[in-house]
Amino acid sequence: MNLRLDIAYDGAPFHGFARQPDVPTVQGTLEDALGKLFGGPVATVGAGRTDAGVHALGQVVSVADAPADLDPVKVRDSLNGMLAPSIAVAVCAPAAADFHARFSARSRTYVYAILEGDVPEPFLAPTTLYHPEPLDLGVMNEAAGHLAGPHDFSSFGRVPPEQSAERVVYELSVRRSGSILRIKARANAFIQQMVRSLVGTLMVVGEGRRAPDEMPAIIEARDRAAAGPVAPPHGLCLVSVEYDEAWSRPLGRLRE
């Protein structure tokens, strides 16, 4: 059967989501655990290839060839026993036969968290970037307005040669809640390091070192040197992946 997993993970111990030889990755760790449960090699597809150190609350994974007779709740509980504490499977459920975690996704939503204030906070340190000086939210949102939309984002990340860097950013916004500033980015897809590069650029604007109206020229440059720095990974989290209504929810705990 086709299985959908909704997972959360602490990115710190992993070299990113995508499986690589010889280093711990989220996908590799998950596939190894599924392999033990299913008794053979298992291939998974993830909706977002999060970079090393980036966290997830709502990553979605599909497993095309899961055994037909499995009990999804037992699989979830067994995986949680094997993967704790760094990875948690929130939902494990049969999915429609044509559901594909990556290709069926309409958009991905990331949130970058920044802690402001005179004093750092040990319990927020793993998931927020500490930035003592307050950032100017107004100019950051003005700059975000320029960066949202369909653009060639070559200035903001890496793409393999010959591939397009065209993406559509549906939402890029900054809000403050207490001493935490959150930058939300939703796009049809992101090129590598794009969210962190957008965040780094918005931070430079928030610090008053660049102006919002410089953004169009940065996009036009199609040159990574034109943008701000890449913000560190630990402030970033893939919070959700959006699907069409038909796929918006797992089929529940029924067997397919």
Q: What is the largest CA-CA distance in the chain?
A: 59
Token reading at 126: 């793993």
Query: Environment class of residue 181 by beta-carbon count within 10 Å: exposed (0-12), middle (13-18) or buried (19+)?
Result: buried
Contact pick of 84, 211, 217, 246 for its own copies (by CB under 8 A)? 84
Is 90 or 211 the residue whose CB approaches its own copies more closely? 90
15-74 residues near its own copies, rule: CB under 8 A: 55, 57
- Report d(CA 180, CA 117) in Å as an integer: 9
- Report d(CA 138, CA 168) in Å as an integer: 23
Token reading at 61: 């994974």
Find the helix or strand (DSSP H, E) in which 184 lies: strand 180-187
Q: Give the binding-site size for its own copies (rule: CB under 8 A).
A: 25
Active site residue 51: yes
3-state SS class at 235: helix
Residue 59: strand pairing partners: 7
173-232 residues near its own copies, rule: CB under 8 A: none
Based on the shown chain and the rule CB under 8 A, indicate whether residue 246 belongs to the binding site for its own copies.
no
Contact letters (x/-) for its own copies, 95-134, by CB under 8 A? -----------------------xxxxxx-xxx--x----
Active-site residue among 51, 65, 77, 152? 51
Contact pick of 4, 19, 76, 210 for its own copies (by CB under 8 A)? 76
Based on the shown chain and the rule CB under 8 A, indicate whether residue 86 belongs to the binding site for its own copies.
yes
Whether residue 50 contacts residue 241, with contact meaning beta carbons closer than 8 Å, is answered with no
Residues that bind its own copies (CB under 8 A): 8-10, 55, 57, 76-77, 80, 84-90, 118-123, 125-127, 130
The residues carrying an active-site annotation are: 51
